[in-house]
């Protein structure tokens, strides 16, 4: 996974701002009502998902709009948090050798726990789930010791966290952000 830009839906963004980014809406924020996108806006998103550095002029030729119209539509979608254009790094290449997913069972307020987890700089992904765990949290750490300290002393000690299970990543088999607009 090299250093490149990607476009992603803000509502399902992982690591949207690199290693320690955050979703501006916060863990407890209400999801926005999806707005309808016309075919041209969807095509703009798909072009940028394929290559976030693609010029607006190139996209304009492909979708049949002016460069200014493509630029305006892209900015409106960014402002509305429909998409983001960000650099995605390979954590190992920038010094973060340990990644893991932490499953959390909670007996406390899930929104409060999710908010507290989202504030931790090592955490790049927090979702509330149905199933064996109430929350799944992806963490990116420099090494095993940082991971151990994070899980044992900061995550497990949060009020309302009853059980954690840590799944250390051994190999990244697939990660992509080009699911399109379907």
Positive or negative torsion for Cα 55, 58, 61, 62: negative
In this structure, the answer to whether residues 127 and 75 fall within a common structural domain is no
Q: Are residues 77 and 114 in the same domain?
A: no
pTM of the model: 0.72
Integer angstrom CA distances of residue 100 from 66, 96, 169: 44, 11, 5
What does the pLDDT look like over 55-109, one tens digit per residue?
999 999 999 999 999 999 999 999 999 999 988 888 888 889 999 999 999 998 9
pLDDT band at 174 (very low <50, low <70, confident <90, very high): confident
- In angstroms, the CA 172 to CA 80 distance is 31
In the numeric block, the tokens 């340990």 are attached to 98
Question: Quick one: 20 and 75 in the same domain?
Answer: yes
- Is 179 contained in some domain? no
Count Cβ atoms within 10 A of the Cβ of residue 145 and give its class: 0-12 exposed, 13-18 middle, 19 or more buried. exposed
Residue at 19 is within a domain: yes
* Secondary structure class of 118 (helix, strand, coil): helix
Q: What is the pLDDT of residues 100-118, one digit of tens each?
A: 999 999 998 999 999 999 9
Q: Which residue has the tokens 């010029």?
A: 55
Q: What are the distances in angstroms from CA 149 to CA 84, 118, 145, 146?
A: 32, 17, 6, 5
| 3-56 pLDDT tens trace | 333 444 443 333 333 333 444 444 444 455 556 799 999 999 999 998 999 999
Tokens of 146: 């940082």
In a domain, 178, yes or no: no
121 and 50: one domain? no
Does one domain contain both 74 and 99?
Answer: no
Per-residue model confidence (pLDDT) at position 43: 95
Same domain, 82 and 136: no
CA–CA gap between residue 144 and residue 168 (Å, rounded): 10
Residue that finishes a domain, picked among 88, 116, 149: 88
Range of the domain at 135: 93-168
Is residue 176 in some structural domain? no
Q: Provide the terminal-to-terminal Cα distance of the chain, rounded to the nearest Å.
A: 24
Contact call for residues 43 and 34 (beta carbons, < 8 A): no
State the pLDDT at residue 27: 41
């Amino acid at each position: 996974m090299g250093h490149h830009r990607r476009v992603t839906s803000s509502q399902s963004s992982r690591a949207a701002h690199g290693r320690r980014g955050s979703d501006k809406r916060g863990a407890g924020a209400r999801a926005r009502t999806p707005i309808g996108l016309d075919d041209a806006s969807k095509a703009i998103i798909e072009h940028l998902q394929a290559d976030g550095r693609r010029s607006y002029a190139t996209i304009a030729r492909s979708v049949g709009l002016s460069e200014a119209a493509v630029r305006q539509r892209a900015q409106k979608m960014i402002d509305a948090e429909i998409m983001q254009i960000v650099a995605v790094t390979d954590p190992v290449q920038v010094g973060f050798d340990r990644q893991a997913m932490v499953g959390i069972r909670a007996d406390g307020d899930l929104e409060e726990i999710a908010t507290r987890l989202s504030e931790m700089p090592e955490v790049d992904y927090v979702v509330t789930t149905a199933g064996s765990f109430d929350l799944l949290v992806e963490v990116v750490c420099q090494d095993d010791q940082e991971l151990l300290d994070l899980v044992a002393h900061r995550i497990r000690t949060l009020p309302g966290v009853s059980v954690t299970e840590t799944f250390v990543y051994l190999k990244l088999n697939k990660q992509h952000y080009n699911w399109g607009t379907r």
